[in-house]
Structure 1
């Protein structure tokens, strides 16, 4: 997991395709966005604009991906994202299904929450279990972009 702000340069190099995803975010006209999928380079890299309302941690399940890593970039609101290490012994609620790059867990051990605010982002790798769109006390409206990058392209 990498937690950073879009206006700050990372102090270490990233694979070119990750830089491409971040450049996409830096060059967006945030006022022209509409919810839905944005094609960047076919199945290698794409994004989704999401308008949603956050929820309490207890109202969602931790998730994990295999084929794609995520860049969660917050445009408006405040979002808490739970993260946990895949210890290989977390009880699975819904396993990976054919054609679906998502697995849900009942619960995970040692979950830690990070706060996203406008302009901040978190890069979540396949080994990072995560629980997006959470709030601490009161649900709030958020707008975010999730960039999906094929792990095979790293």
Structure 2
């Protein structure tokens, strides 16, 4: 059991090398951050952190789709599973839950970053489920860094998301 888990954790990416995955996730965060910064400056409900989380999750969904596409799901007359349907199901289900925690109170939108982080957690769950635990760990680390650093920056600048 432990050997199996260790092999999943150390499993190299079959379609997307770890360096490429790191670059893709980081660029998604940076590019979405540009948009989020503009939204933040205009005091919009979805700001810097929210845009970054959504972009990282979308990037991870694509990488996981590529990884799942390389897995064997049966041959010939055997039942085949469509890996993209797995992603669609998780995305829709988690988005529904995330939307449920976002609400408006006294004219102010609340919990939108938490909703985005829930959606991202769904993507991380897909990564781990696909045996890409290293990719899930990489993504979680980037997200924690983004949330931590940006919260400190928001406190310094006196803004919030």
Q: Give the TM-score category using the shorter length.
A: under 0.3
The structure where helix makes up a greater share of residues is: 2
The structure where strand makes up a greater share of residues is: 1
Based on CA coordinates, which of the two structures has the bigger radius of gyration? 2
Higher RCO (CA 8 Å, separation ≥ 6 residues): 1
- Output the TM-score relative to the length of structure 1: 0.25
